[in-house]
């Protein structure tokens, strides 16, 4: 089941990379790991990781949800 979900990730070639990306993405958005650590695990530069997220239409912010709300109302 996990492999079928991971296979839908178009950004990476092999299934192991796709599975790792999904795991890292979950950990990153759960704030269990930092962007730097996520990039390290994926073996890419943080700027490249952010670009991949952007290309996939995934918004990521270093700010907390409260900070994002403040920034939008500034």
Residues in the chain: 74
Q: What is the mean pLDDT of residues 54-73?
A: 77
Q: Is the pLDDT of residue 7 over 60?
A: no
Give the C-alpha separation, 44 to 72, whole Å. 30
Give the C-alpha separation, 35 to 62, whole Å. 8
Q: How far is CA 40 from CA 3, 14, 33, 43, 70, in A?
A: 23, 18, 11, 5, 30
% of the chain surpassing 70 pLDDT: 80
Q: Is the pLDDT of residue 70 over 70?
A: yes
Q: What is the mean pLDDT of residues 52-56?
A: 85
Q: Is the pLDDT of residue 67 over 80?
A: no
SS3 25: helix
């Amino acid at each position: 089941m996990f492999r079928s979900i991971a296979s839908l990730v178009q950004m990476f070639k092999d299934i192991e990379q796709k599975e790792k990306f999904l795991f890292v993405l979950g950990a990153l958005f759960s704030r269990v790991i930092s962007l730097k650590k996520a990039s390290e695990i994926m073996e890419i530069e943080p700027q490249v990781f952010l670009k991949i997220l952007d290309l996939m239409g995934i918004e990521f912010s270093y700010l907390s949800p409260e900070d994002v709300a403040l920034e939008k109302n500034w």
